[in-house]
Amino acid sequence: MADDSLEAAKKRLAEDKKAADKSRADYGERTRGKPTPTQEENDLHALGATFTEHEDDGSGPDPHLSRHLEAEKPAGGYQTRQSTAKPASTHAAPHQRGE
């Protein structure tokens, strides 16, 4: 019985180690690149330089950034309704004239 549990534990340990190594490799692949802003950009900013864009960090597009797409507009166009307010009456109501 002890040999079976020892072998099972060794097998489980090997599987866990393999999964951990794979996880580390995946994490390393996802996080490769350089920081943005770079140290050089930080140093230049400290001396008064300004930036509108940073150097590409090499990481590629953000996988969590979703694009919001808008449906195509109808080619033929369409009419909308328009309503306007009724012009104000020039005659006051009887109760407003003091009758």
Residue 43 structure tokens: 């140093």
44 located within any domain? yes
DSSP 98: T
70 located within any domain? no
pLDDT tens readout for residues 51-76: 888 777 776 777 777 777 777 776 66
As a whole number of angstroms, the distance between CA 52 and CA 60 comes to 19
6 located within any domain? yes
Contact indicator for 45, 37 with CB cutoff of 8 Å: yes
Contact indicator for 62, 33 with CB cutoff of 8 Å: no
Mean pLDDT of the chain: 78
Q: Which domain holds residue 9?
A: 1-52
73 located within any domain? no
25 located within any domain? yes
As a whole number of angstroms, the distance between CA 37 and CA 49 comes to 13
Q: What residue spans of 31-86 are helical by DSSP H?
A: 39-46
> pLDDT class for 93, splitting at 50, 70, 90?
low
> pLDDT class for 13, splitting at 50, 70, 90?
very high
User: In this prediction, what percent of the chain has a pLDDT beyond 70?
Assistant: 77
Total domains present in the chain? 1
58 located within any domain? no
12 located within any domain? yes
84 located within any domain? no
> pLDDT class for 40, splitting at 50, 70, 90?
confident
